[in-house]
Structure 1
Amino acid sequence: MQRFPDNLGLATDLLLHTETGMVELRDDYIVVRTPEAPEYFFGNMLVLRQRPSASDLKLLEHDFGQLVGIPPLIAHRTFAWPENADSEVTFDAFVERGYDATVCRVLVAHPDEVIQVATNPLVKVRPFTMQQDWDDWFQMQLADMSNPTSIGSQRYMAHQQRAYRSLIERGLGNLWGAFIGNVQVGSLGLFFLDGIGRFQTVITGARHRKRNVCKTLVTEVIRLAATRADRLVMVADETYHAGAIYEAMGFRQQGRLASLCQEPGNAKAR
């Protein structure tokens, strides 16, 4: 946490990883490892102090192999770092090497600053209470992944379910569902670490989008559960519309979080 006080997205990521995996502070990196889930790309990564340059890539890949792992156990490479709020970010040299680049906005609000927005009166919100809730969550999350039928995707989701249930059992938060009748149409996680509420895996089912499900879910969860936090944190991909929804609700950008991920089989020769 103390390493990134100006980037609550990265700081809370590391707090969550400390609870569900292993985090090691080193001179040049923060090493994140989740030994029981080698397919978890962002649970097995190197966190950098700043944006890398193309000339850093050979050393970064070497150090990733030494500190995180190599194939066949660790078949990907992931690097993440705090990014400046308004800088232009280009990753052409990394993309040419088979990396996917992502830049996210880190959005922060005090619970009292959240604005009431249009909601869907048909949507009821409650924490997960039964196995069916988890089963429906698993299928919805899996369907939203790029390769939902792969064994790696299914093992990753099974790990995420175990990790979230462990956090819930320790009283650190909950997963919440949005329901129309008995059908789960969306969900999110909200976990509390050092007085900060961090949202996780906010999703609306494909057939129920553009019906204010997300707005209803976030608004209700904050109303019901956010008294434990003095700050609430969302991390939203800059290329998706969700960030605009959260900003309309009163969240404000605090910083950005960038990453490079080379998925298995995507490495390209120099």
Structure 2
Amino acid sequence: MDVTSLGFRTDLALLTASGSTVEDRGTHLVVRTPANPTYYWGNFILLAEPPVPGGEREVVGAFRTEFPEAGHVSIGIDHPDLTPESRAAFEAAGLVVDVASVLTASELRAPREVEAEVRPLQSESDWESRARLSVAIEERDDEESHLRFARGRNVQEQALIEAGRGTRFGVLVDDEVVSTAAVFTTEDGVARFQSVETHMGHRRKGLAAAAVHAAGRYALEHLGARTLVIVADDDGEAIGIYRRLGFADTERQLMLERRQGTRASLDG
């Protein structure tokens, strides 16, 4: 299966580079992250095309067959066009349909100055602070399992950093990470942002813009990136931040999921 979506193509590149597996079934891909089974978008299926009318529940069933122990459902579709009837059928099956914007930039505008330290995460305490931030902004039914998930995601990113593919920047206040953004190379000249997160108590202070800008400049100046890729929900605060930094809408990315009592963070 050839993946045409820039959003999913860069997702898959980073997942496989950090230890996930991808099984090609012809009509769809099965993506697994055995080391982090509660990582929703590390354990999902990606369809080449939307299902035929009436096939939506069959798709959900296919996910259940592939991931019988999962407490979530995550299904991507490589083409963003979904008929109103298909959307309604997926929603009737209990899924939230999210069509996000994939934005790109070749250079960035400088954001306003912030009164906080902006630097790459380095120590184990930095990374543990980042894990606590993830738990604080994205609620799940089981906080301890979410902390395990966040720590597992840290391990995956640290592997990418050790491979020289990028880094994660943090904005620190009183030695705690209150905003963060990562960027990693996915193919020649392309770098993808990952998980832009800001603590609820520190929003609207320019911190997310500072983190994204620092990570983006690092990619352009040190990773040989010519195109920066970031993904955002249309109705969230993040997309406005990215556009003000110089990102422009490039395509759409279709994702369907059933979560367990979560509040979405700013994802890149």
Fold match by TM threshold 0.5: yes
What is the aligned partner in structure 2 of residue 33 from structure 1? 32
Q: Output one character per residue of 1:3-40: Cα deviation in whole Å (capped at 9) or x when no partner.
A: 334x3211100111212310122210011011222222
Cα distance 1:4–1:89, how it changes in 2: closer, same or farther (>3 A)? farther
Structure 2: 5+ residue runs without aligned partners?
262-268
**Structure 2: how far apart are the matches of 1:139 and 1:32?**
26
Percent identity among equivalent residues? 27
User: In the TM superposition, what is the alpha-carbon distance from 1:167 to its structure 2 partner?
Assistant: 1.3
**Structure 2: how far apart are the matches of 1:232 and 1:78?**
25
User: In the TM superposition, what is the alpha-carbon distance from 1:84 to its structure 2 partner?
Assistant: 4.1
The answer to whether structure 1 residue 158 and structure 2 residue 151 are counterparts is: yes
**Structure 1: how far apart are the matches of 2:148 and 2:3?**
30
Q: Pick one of 231, 241, 247 that aligns with 1:251.
A: 247
**Structure 1: how far apart are the matches of 2:127 and 2:14?**
20
Alignment of 1:190-229 (within 5 A): 190-195=183-188, 196-227=190-221, 228=223, 229=225
What is the aligned partner in structure 2 of residue 48 from structure 1? 47
Cα distance 1:264–1:211, how it changes in 2: closer, same or farther (>3 A)? closer
Q: Which amino acid aligns with 2:203?
A: R
What is the aligned partner in structure 1 of residue 108 from structure 2? 114
User: In the TM superposition, what is the alpha-carbon distance from 1:181 to its structure 2 partner?
Assistant: 5.3
Deviates more, 1:226-235 or 1:52-61: 52-61
What is the aligned partner in structure 2 of residue 13 from structure 1? 11
Cα distance 1:42–1:4, how it changes in 2: closer, same or farther (>3 A)? same
Q: Which amino acid aligns with 1:77?
A: V
What is the aligned partner in structure 2 of residue 268 from structure 1? none
**RMSD, aligned α-carbons:** 2.5
What is the aligned partner in structure 2 of residue 102 from structure 1? 98
Cα distance 1:224–1:264, how it changes in 2: closer, same or farther (>3 A)? closer
**Structure 2: how far apart are the matches of 1:172 and 1:101?**
31
- Give secondary structure in 2 for the equivalent of 1:171: coil
**Structure 2: how far apart are the matches of 1:148 and 1:154?**
12
TM-score, normalised via structure 2 length: 0.86
